[in-house]
């Protein structure tokens, strides 16, 4: 749980590599999220009161039909158990990724750094 965002930091919130978490993050999470949301024609807004907390509101348009690439990937992997390497520097993100992917019957390896990811990639069929 967060404590909210200082008013002085709000303008830079979605800037790549900007972080208020000292050594806990890279500052890419919100920038990446905003870019992805924008690419799909959506929007993201934030309300925060420092000392109380923050709320992000994400709006995405409904699609009438999935994109062609999504259908191709879904067809190619349907029923297949994949071994997936998830890489992030935050345990909470890796836990969510592992939970979701294992629910789809995939085997999930996790790494918290690029170096660890390379070691696991070399040692496992991914």
pLDDT tens readout for residues 5-51: 888 888 888 888 888 776 666 778 888 889 989 988 899 999 999 98
pLDDT of 1 above 60: no
Flag whether pLDDT at 78 surpasses 60. Answer: yes
Does this model's pTM top 0.85? Answer: no
Q: Tell which wins on pLDDT, 70 or 37.
A: 37
Q: Is 87 helix (H, G, I), strand (E, B) or coil?
A: strand
Task: Give percent helix, percent strand, percent coil of the chain, each to the nearest 5.
Answer: 40, 20, 45
**What percentage of residues in the chain have a pLDDT greater than 90?**
26
Using the CB atoms, write b or e for 88-99: b if 16+ within 10 Å. bbeeebbeebbe
Looking at residue 68, what is its pLDDT? 66
């Amino acid at each position: 749980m967060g404590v909210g965002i200082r008013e002085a930091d709000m303008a830079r919130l979605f800037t790549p590599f900007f972080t208020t978490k000292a050594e806990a993050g890279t500052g890419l999470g919100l920038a990446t999220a905003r870019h992805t949301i924008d690419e799909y024609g959506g929007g993201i807004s934030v309300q925060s009161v420092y000392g109380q907390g923050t709320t992000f509101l994400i709006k995405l348009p409904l699609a009438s039909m999935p994109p062609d690439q999504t259908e191709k990937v879904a067809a190619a992997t349907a029923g297949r158990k994949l071994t997936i390497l998830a890489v992030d520097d935050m345990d909470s993100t890796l836990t969510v990724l592992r939970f979701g992917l294992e629910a789809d019957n995939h085997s999930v390896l996790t790494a918290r750094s690029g170096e660890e990811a390379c070691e696991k990639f070399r040692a496992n069929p991914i």
